[in-house]
Amino acid sequence: MKIVVIGATSAIAHETTKCFAREGAELFLVARSADKLETIAADLRVRGAQQVETFALDVNELERHQELFDAALSALGELDLLFISYGTLGDQRKCELSVDETMKELTTNFTSVISLLTLAANYFERRRRGKIVVVSSVAGDRGRGSNYVYGTAKGAVSIFLQGLRNRMHKVGVSVLTVKPGFVDTPMTAAVRKGPLFAKPRVVGEGIYAAIKKGKEVVYLPWFWSPIMFVVKSIPERVFKRLSL
C-alpha cells in the first residue's frame, strides 16, 4: 500500500504507521521538522516499510499543498491512502483575547486540513478508489467553554468529512473520521492526566484496525462513543452550567 502521512511525527501517526510498516507499505511522510522526520523514517524502515520518503512542510503554508502532492506522486507513483494526523491544542484563554490567536488555531486545525482534503479528494475521485483517514477529536462533538476554539475546528473537520464521505462513496473511495479522546502525547503535556487518557499505541492500533475493517467513524478508545452520546444528550440549559 502506498500511503501519504501528514503529521507523520505525531505520536498517533507514528504508532499507526508502525502497523503499516510491518506489512511492507510504501510511505511518504510529511511534517514540519526534517530532523524528526528522518528519525521516524529510519524507525519505520527497520520495522519493514518497503520505501520511506520524507517531505518537510508547515501545513499552514497552504500554497505548498499542491507541491506536496506532486512530490508524493513523484516518489510513490500513485496513492492508495491519505492519512492526516496533526493539530495544535492552543490556549483557549489566549484565543478569547486575540483574533490572531483564534485564526491561527483555526488555520492549523481546520483550514489547512480542508485544503489538503480538497486536493486529495479530487485525486482519488479521478482514480475511483482509495482511502482518506483523518484524525478529528471528540472535542468537536459539542462546544465546551474550556476549549471551544479547538472544538470548533475539529467539529468543522468532522462535518466536512461527513459530506466528503457522501461524495466519495459514489466513486468507491472510503473516508474514515477518527475521534480520539484524551491521548497522552506531547500535545497534551500540559494537561493533567486522568483515567480517561489513552496511550498513543492504543489509538494508533485502533486506527489501523478501523481502516482494515472499513469503518467510517471510530471513537478511540471505544468507551468515548457512549461518553459522547451522553454529553451530546444533555440539554443546553443544563450543559451551560457545567464546568466542562
Distance CA 125, CA 135 (A): 21
Q: What is the structure's pLDDT at 61?
A: 97
Q: Indicate if the pLDDT at residue 194 is higher than 90.
A: no
- pLDDT tens for each residue of 16-66: 999 999 999 999 999 999 999 999 999 999 999 999 999 999 999 999 999
pLDDT tier at 195 (50, 70, 90 boundaries)? confident
- pLDDT tens for each residue of 235-244: 999 999 987 8
**Is 148 known to be catalytic?**
no
Q: What is the structure's pLDDT at 207?
A: 98
Q: What is the structure's pLDDT at 98?
A: 97
Total-model pTM: 0.94
Q: Indicate if the pLDDT at residue 187 is higher than 90.
A: no
Average pLDDT, stretch 211-229?
A: 97
Q: Under 8 Å CB-to-CB from 15, ≥6 apart: which residues?
A: 200, 201, 203, 204, 205
Average pLDDT, stretch 109-125?
A: 98
Distance CA 1, CA 50 (A): 10
Query: Which domains can be identified in the chain, with CATH numbers?
Result: 2-239 (3.40.50.720)
Q: Which amino acid is at 236?
A: E
Distance CA 53, CA 18 (A): 15
Catalytic option among 86, 123, 150, 208: 150
Q: What is the structure's pLDDT at 13?
A: 98
Alpha helix segments (H runs only) across the chain: 11-22, 34-46, 65-76, 92-97, 99-106, 112-127, 148-169, 200-213, 224-233, 236-239
